[in-house]
Amino acid sequence: MPTRMPTRMPTRMRVRRTALIVSGMVALWAPLLVGQTSSKAPHRAPAKPAAASSMQVHANLNQLMRGIFYPASNVFFAAQSDNPADVKPAKKAAVATDPLQSTYGGWTAVENASLALVEGANLLTVPGRKCANGVDVPIKNPEWSKFVQEMREAGMKAYQAAQSKNQDSVLDAADTLTTACANCHAKWRTANLADRCK
């Protein structure tokens, strides 16, 4: 009697069989992978998202300004005089320290910098942040809230200008951004670091 060659299992059946094998392996190994050695381990509720009040503050206001607002605004301000589309990527763009020359350079860098200003404005309202002199950031002061909102709006205007890739729009948005920064600085930023936020 001639030997019959086994026929290949239809693809759909192979997929089902593979899925069954994988799910069986997951069922066997999952408790060990998550550190449970018994099937009677207590059930844990899914983790809840952190509330805004549980946010941790690590930078003082001066560090936040130097780490986010200063570099991000400089990327945006650079687009006033130099067309970001003309900026050549760095030789090693993936590790470039100049955002305009990075993998996400050009107008994308200007857009991202603008959004960093908008999102950074939220960090200006997190409770527990200190000024450079150790005084609490005045987040409950109505003027502080007004200036933070001006920064958000200026950042969004900058973002829209960057999206347009129009340098005239960038000039207009840069004026709005400069005004937002100057208004807040006139009230809260003194020449003497020890006196900032008063």
The strand pairing partners of 130, in sequence order, are 136
Is the CB of residue 37 less than 8 Å from the CB of residue 31? Answer: yes
Q: Could you give the 3-state DSSP secondary structure of residue 51?
A: coil
Residue-level pLDDT, tens digit, the chain, 198 residues:
444 544 554 544 444 444 444 444 334 333 333 344 444 444 555 555 555 557 889 999 999 999 999 999 999 999 999 999 999 999 999 999 999 999 999 999 999 999 999 999 999 999 999 998 899 999 999 999 999 999 999 999 999 999 999 999 999 999 999 999 999 999 888 777 777 777
Q: Which fold has domain 57-195?
A: Four Helix Bundle (Hemerythrin (Met), subunit A) (1.20.120)
Cα 146 to Cα 124: distance, rounded to the nearest angstrom: 12
The strand pairing partners of 136, in sequence order, are 130
Cα 142 to Cα 133: distance, rounded to the nearest angstrom: 21
- Among candidate residues 186, 176, 153, the one with its CA nearest the CA of residue 80: 176
State phi, psi for 45 to the nearest 5 degrees: -70, 150
Q: Does the predicted TM-score (pTM) go above 0.85?
A: no
